[in-house]
Structure 1
Amino acid sequence: MSNTPHTLQEEFPGEAARITELKTSNARFAKLLEEYDEVNDKVHRAESRIDAVSEEHEDGLRRNRSRIKDQIWAMIRG
């Protein structure tokens, strides 16, 4: 796995204006962005071996990041 953080700008190119709009107008969306950044940082730290975690825990973090990203994408499209 790559230990490069998955920023939302890279995940959703061309959606910066929509992300900013939702972030300022939708508290749930803003909370999801915070959760994504937090989990993304944990994944990056685990993949970089900065934090020692089990493979299962690292996989769980990746799944959680993916789940949050799916929710963010649904709100961007919505």
Structure 2
Amino acid sequence: MSHVQHELVQKFPEKKEQIHNLKMNDSHFARLFDEYHELNRRVHRIESRGTDRSDETMEDIKKQRIILLDELINILEK
């Protein structure tokens, strides 16, 4: 368990302003951003509290988070 939150701005500090602008002006990006951070909080909460979740459930959540992150990165790189 890593107990490390994977916040988007922490991952890409050089894109902080772009992330902010996209959150304000692009509803699709904002929705993906919110979903990513919700999944991120769920993973962190499960890992830090040792909440009883099956490995399969945790892996599914992490896979969803990776898919969202990939989509967000694609938008940031346009």
Shorter-chain TM-score above 0.5: yes
Determine helix, strand or coil for the equivalent of 1:5.
coil
Q: How many residues align?
A: 78
**Equivalent-residue separation in structure 2 for 1:52 and 1:11 (angstroms):** 28
Contact 2:9 2:19 (C-alpha < 8 Å) held by counterparts = no
1:17 is aligned to 17
Q: Alpha-carbon deviations, 1:27-53, whole Å to 9, x = none? A: 000001110111001111121234321
**Equivalent-residue separation in structure 1 for 2:3 and 2:59 (angstroms):** 13
**Structure holding more helix per residue:** 2
**Equivalent-residue separation in structure 2 for 1:75 and 1:2 (angstroms):** 27
TM-score, normalisation: structure 1 = 0.91
**Equivalent-residue separation in structure 2 for 1:16 and 1:60 (angstroms):** 28
The 4+ residue runs of structure 1 with deviation greater than 6 A are none
**Equivalent-residue separation in structure 2 for 1:61 and 1:8 (angstroms):** 17
Structure 1 residue ranges without an equivalent (≥5): none
**Equivalent-residue separation in structure 1 for 2:29 and 2:15 (angstroms):** 14
TM-score, normalisation: structure 2 = 0.91
Contact 2:29 2:72 (C-alpha < 8 Å) held by counterparts = yes
Identity score, percent: 33
